[in-house]
Every structure is written in C-alpha cells, then in structure tokens.
C-alpha cells in the first residue's frame, strides 16, 4: 500500500496517546475513526483534541477553519465493526499484551482491505508477538509516537520479525505525511527510546530512594548537567508513574536485573501517586 492510497485511519483508544494520534492524522487530511470502550472515554478524548487544536489556533499555527475541518474529519465509535473499511489501524490501548492481541485478533477478521496496515503504538511490548495473531503479520508494524503527540517530532518505526520492507517503507512515509520524523529500529524491548529513557528515570528514583539528593536537586542537576528540559522525576510525573513502572517491569522481565524497578516507584504506584494526572507524584500539582 502507498500513503496516497490511504483515506481512512482507525485509531484504537481515546486516551492521551490515542487522541493525540487521531488529531495529527486528521490534521494531515485523513478521515479518522476513533474507537474506545465507552462514550465517556471518547468524549474526554475529543475534549483533549479540541483543547490542543485551540492552542494551535491561539499561537497562529492553524486557522479557526482548519480547526473546524480537522474536528469534522474525526468520527467516534464504541464498535470495532466500524473499522470494517479502514486502510490503517493504529492501536493505542492499555499497555497489556493480551488485551492488544485480543483486539488485533478480532480486527483481523473485521477489516476488509487485504493490504491494510496494522500498527501498534506500544512503547515496550513485542511487535512480533502482536503480529502473530493477525492474518498478515507482514503488514504489521510498530509506530511509536512520543507524548505529547501533536508536539513531539520523533516517531519510532519498529520492524517485527515478519514485517515486510514494504510495510516499513509505508510506515516511514506515513509518519512523514503526519509531519513527524521517523527513526527505524528492530523489535527489541523498549526499542530505542524507552530502552535508554526508562533506566535513566529509574536511576533518578534510586538516587532519591538512597537519600543521595532531594528530588529538586536531582532534577535541577540533570537539567544543568545534560541540558535536558526536564529532570527524571519531573518527567516520570509527566508520563505517569504507572506507565513508567509497566515499561521498566517489561525491560526487567525481558533484559534482566540491571533494569530492576526501584522499590520507591512501586510504592508510589500502589499509593496512587501517579504524577500530574492524579495531582501528586514526586511533586504536588494540586497547589499550582
């Protein structure tokens, strides 16, 4: 399939990543079907898209008419059957292998187009394993966007064991069409981004846990020492500590003890201190 053949993109999951993916696809001119399990999730996702687009309008990056046209290109549904005529599927649901395999197994029998591309936005899980439950694993690829999707340029294109060269090239071209910059890698736990990023965050948490420095000094130090915009604890709060823990646990399970999650991270997730989305993580956001 060529990118110019794509008319309709189906996005699974209306959370932070799914709504962002739906937005950039619609901004690029594609018709989008955004699916989630319940209407309330879809409503929240569409609100996030409207807020994001409004900021683009305020900054003069798009016009009011472009915002309206983008929103009109996005349709929502709770039914997988509505993906029958999509050309591309991008999955952005919960980071759980069995849940992802279940939805891809079902979609493999719903999507009519024989050369439809199936993609997962997973940040750590095996593209090869997900592809195994579909009819055409050669048409399956990882397309891993970064958060926040509308703003971040880099996207990982992940080649599964059976992913064809044509599918990798399609993903590369598709990502470029969205105004992003693709980076291709093999299917390995954490790919490039999280293979490097998650141990950095985890080590920052270990430094705090061991009492080497305060959270403020850890983050301030790393901003000063490495010229990054956020320190590891600030970034963990932005990503969500539950998501960080899930990613690190996958790396630990697949790659060994050097990726062992810090006990403090586990304790905070158990306490529901997940970062910005819950109001408290390493920092308290309720006072801001």
Is residue 16 marked as binding? yes
Is residue 68 marked as binding? no
Token couple for 278 = 């819950």
Place of tokens 């994001």: 52
Is residue 64 marked as binding? no
Is residue 132 marked as binding? no
Query: What is the length of the chain?
Result: 288
Q: Are strands 140-145 and 154-159 parallel, antiparallel or unpaired?
A: antiparallel
Q: One of 123, 126, 139, 193 is an active-site residue; which one?
A: 123
Is residue 55 marked as binding? no
Q: Is 194 a catalytic residue?
A: yes
24: three-class secondary structure by DSSP: helix
Is residue 123 marked as binding? yes
Q: One of 48, 193, 194, 202 is an active-site residue; which one?
A: 194
Q: One of 19, 108, 126, 156 is an active-site residue; which one?
A: 156
Burial bucket for residue 77 (CB in 10 Å: 0-12, 13-18, 19+): middle
Token couple for 259 = 């990726």
Is residue 48 marked as binding? no
Token couple for 269 = 């997730």
Token couple for 151 = 């703003």
Q: One of 91, 144, 202, 234 is an active-site residue; which one?
A: 144
Is residue 17 marked as binding? yes
Catalytic residues: 123, 144, 156, 194
Feature table: binding site: 13-18, 36, 95, 100, 123, 147, 277
Feature table: binding site for NAD(+): 13-18, 36, 95, 100, 123, 147, 277
């Amino acid at each position: 399939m060529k990118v110019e053949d794509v008319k309709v993109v189906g996005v699974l999951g209306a959370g932070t990543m799914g709504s962002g993916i739906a937005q950039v696809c619609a901004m690029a001119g594609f018709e989008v079907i955004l699916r989630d399990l319940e209407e309330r999730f879809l409503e929240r996702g569409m609100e996030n898209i409207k807020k994001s687009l409004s900021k683009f309008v305020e900054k003069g990056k798009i016009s009011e008419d472009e915002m309206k046209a983008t929103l009109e290109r996005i349709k929502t549904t709770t039914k997988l059957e509505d993906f029958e005529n999509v050309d591309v599927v991008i999955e952005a649901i919960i980071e759980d292998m069995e849940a992802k395999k279940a939805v891809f197994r079902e979609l493999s029998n719903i999507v009519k187009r024989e050369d439809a591309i199936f993609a997962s936005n997973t940040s750590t899980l095996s593209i090869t394993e997900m592809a195994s439950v579909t009819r055409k694993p050669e048409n399956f690829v990882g397309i891993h966007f970064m958060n926040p999707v509308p703003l971040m340029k880099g996207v990982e294109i992940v080649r599964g064991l059976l992913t064809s060269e044509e599918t990798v090239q399609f993903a590369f071209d598709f990502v470029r069409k969205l105004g992003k910059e693709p980076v291709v890698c093999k299917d390995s736990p954490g790919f490039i981004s999280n293979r490097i990023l998650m141990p950095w965050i985890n080590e920052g948490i270990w430094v705090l846990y061991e009492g080497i420095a305060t959270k403020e000094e850890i983050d301030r130090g790393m901003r000063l020492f490495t010229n990054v915009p956020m320190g590891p604890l600030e970034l963990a709060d932005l990503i969500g500590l539950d998501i960080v823990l899930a990613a690190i646990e996958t790396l630990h399970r697949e790659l060994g003890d050097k990726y062992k999650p810090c006990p403090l991270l586990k304790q905070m997730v158990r306490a529901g201190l997940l970062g910005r989305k819950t109001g408290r993580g390493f920092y308290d956001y309720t006072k801001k």
